[in-house]
Amino acid sequence: MTIVSTAVPALGQSDNPLLEPWNTPYQTPPFSQIRNEHYAPAMRAAIKEAENNINNIIKQKEEATFDNTIVALQTASQSLDRISSVLFNLNECNTDSAMQQIVMELTPELTRYENSVSMNEQLFARVKAVYEQRDKLELTTEQRTLLEDTYKGFVRNGVNLSSKDKKIFAKNSERLAELSQKMNQNVLADNNNYILHITKKRDLNGLPENVIAAARQEAEERELDGWVFTLAYPSFGPFITYADNRNLREEIWRAYNSRGNRGNENDNNEIIREMTYLRYQQAHLLGYANYSEYVLSNRMCETPAQLSKFFNQLLDASMPFAIQDLKEVSSYASRHGAKLPLQRWDFSYWSEKMKQDKYDFDEELLRPYFQLENVRQGIFELYGRLYGLTFKEAHDIDVYHPDVKVYEVFDGNRFMAVLYLDMHPRASKRSGAWMTEFRGQSNIGGNEIRPLIQVVCNFSKPVGDKPALLSFDEVETFMHEFGHAMHGMLSDCTYPSISGTSVKRDFVELPSQVMENWCYEPEFLNTFARHYQTGATIPLDYIQKIRAAEKYLAGWLCVRQLSLGLADFGFHTITKPIEGPIEDFERLHMKELLPAVPGANTSTAFTHIFAGGYASGYYGYKWAEVLDADVFAKFKKEGIFNKATAESFRNEILSKGGTEHPAVLFRNFMGRDPKIDALLQRCGFNN
């Protein structure tokens, strides 16, 4: 029997819905009742309650045990976790200026609480007492992992520092949390502060009809004549890829690639300079040579030396192909009248034209076959075939925005999760796509709590009477984020801090990236890819062309991804403050093959590493590509719908969260350690 706990700690009666039990289906957040003014008092009350719970753990007369100390810590901040998950998740996808101010106000207070716990010597003494008995205790694998993670978490957060260094560490932590939020806000502001307003129809030449219609709708919503393009990717991406007007391509490209680097009130240069040095200081206080060494000491890739070797191995394999890709695109562009060298606002345009000629195929022809609702249903049915899951739309569960759809997820009669899908861009939502949760999965003492999962994307919107029609890239993104969602929904762990996606950062992308592979399989595409008007199944020759183009620009794209990882690595191996413009520092570390553009700076909008938890971890996408190619090769061999293989993947990886080291989980599924061969084969680098 699945139990969903309705119990919340007694915070006292109030008219604040964040402080009351949520008498809603599955105890989902009552979004329509929550107002901005509720957050600050609720967070402060929850912090006080958590502090009391921590003091109760410390003041126990009984000797420290696994249950009265380690497990007690798992539930000490239950109310705080519940409230903060609502605030911080909505600040990412449905924010406003008032909420942003509240987040900036509360972030230092929350960080101070976290520091007060992680640096509490009395609390750590109890944790250490249990840790030192670990070999004598009869612990399960999950319990041993939790114990080790808890102990290391205290050490990694400064509990063993001197009093003086603790104050420095705590102050730095507060400042880093504040800067992270500020950077996110700055990027969103710069994103929203630019539009490309077109009033002459000739400036639309080259753009697909659906893109033009969307731009017209955007203009109408803004009460403007003509057409409006924004920096939201469903608008920016097609424009930079298809627009014949090179000057306008350059304008919007510069706008997109100068976010956070415009010298205005949203500029992130000083934020990056301060954050990177503060991170170095934190690592140095803990005895590490640099921040990367600190981060990697708790990853699958364990050292900077190992990471450098990984970068070099993939660069050696991909760089010759990347150079050849550039030569081919440049030659093609030159033959068709372009001036060389190609600039950054030229490459997507000419590479797309070459792709259309090379494969006799325009990816825009795919859109009519990828109606959002059909793609969503296809994904639902895929997980039904693999894992026996069903998805039922829930109309009685509250949402935070009209765009959001909610589903109950079942495995037979067993309730597994609530799933929120938020698919389209808006000014209150940051760019990109991500999965997160309003509540994680746990099962302490047989009280099973199932997760509340959120998937947020920025996909092409419906235009007029046309439904939302996705690009193939958007279909891949949907599959990617849904892989993360499955990792959360199929979790079957005991303790919340190591359930679901709470795994080492360079392993977390495996369940998501492996799912992208299904997008190239006719057996899967034929289950849902139908023309939104005629109902006709996607033509076989379209699928063949998708597969033929799978390796197109593989070298170029690999080097681009590695370059982002190298920039991240550079920022987090510094030992002194960065001098000079951040764009110069970025250029020094990235392996860019196109001419540099003054004012262009990826890093000042690189929220993954400065506001998203991927600091010195962006390499993880490529690292996980090795894993996902290896895993999918097994699926291909045994059948992409093979239930035995899927169940093994579920039981050995998806359900296990972070209960064991990922290398062990991988070996349990594959029967061996990872090999790079499948990735090299997929990219065509071993031909």
**Model confidence pLDDT, tens digit, residues 88-112:** 999 999 999 999 999 999 999 999 9
Q: Annotate 420-446 with DSSP letters as a single string.
A: EEE-S--TTS-SS-EEEEEE--EEETT
Name the CA radius of gyration of the chain, rounded.
25
Is residue 4 over pLDDT 90?
no
Note the pLDDT tens digit of each residue in 391-404: 999 999 999 999 99
SS3 content of the chain, % helix, strand, coil (to 5): 60, 5, 35
Pairing state between β 196-198 and 227-229:
antiparallel
Is residue 676 over pLDDT 50?
yes
pLDDT range class, residue 687, cuts 50, 70, 90: low
Structure tokens at 297: 């000491």
Q: What is the pLDDT of residue 443?
A: 98
CATH T-level fold of 368-553+620-683: Neurolysin; domain 3 (1.10.1370)
Note the pLDDT tens digit of each residue in 318-348: 999 999 999 999 999 999 999 999 999 999 9
Is residue 10 over pLDDT 70?
no
Q: Are 83 and 113 in contact (CB under 8 A)?
A: no
Percent of the chain with pLDDT over 90: 97
Q: State which CATH number among 1.20.1050.40, 3.40.50.720, 2.40.30.70, 1.25.40.10 fits the domain covering 17-118+120-156.
A: 1.20.1050.40
Note the pLDDT tens digit of each residue in 411-461: 999 999 999 999 999 999 999 999 999 999 999 999 999 999 999 999 999
Note the pLDDT tens digit of each residue in 501-541: 999 999 999 999 999 999 999 999 999 999 999 999 999 99
Percent of the chain with pLDDT over 70: 98
Q: What is the pLDDT of residue 606?
A: 98
pLDDT range class, residue 686, cuts 50, 70, 90: confident
CA distances from 558 to 142, 311, 315, 334, 682 (A): 36, 11, 8, 24, 12
Instruction: Locate all alpha helices (DSSP H) within 388-490, ordered by sequence.
Output: 472-489
Known catalytic residues?
481
What's the length of the chain?
Answer: 687
Average pLDDT over the chain, rounded to an integer:
96
316 vs 559: CA distance, rounded Å: 10
Q: Does a cis peptide bond (omega within 30 degrees of 0) precede residue 341? A: yes
DSSP 3-state of 157 = coil
Is residue 290 over pLDDT 80?
yes
Nearest residue to 148 via CA among 493, 665, 659, 664: 659
Contacts of 616 (CB under 8 A, 6+ apart): 291, 292, 295, 296, 568, 569, 571, 572, 609
* Entry pTM: 0.96
Is residue 153 over pLDDT 80?
yes
Is residue 9 over pLDDT 90?
no
Map out the domains of the chain as residue ranges.
17-118+120-156, 194-256, 368-553+620-683
Q: What is the pLDDT of residue 618?
A: 98
Note the pLDDT tens digit of each residue in 28-68: 999 999 999 999 999 999 999 999 999 999 999 999 999 99
Is residue 294 over pLDDT 80?
yes
Is residue 5 over pLDDT 90?
no
Note the pLDDT tens digit of each residue in 123-152: 999 999 999 999 999 999 999 999 999 999
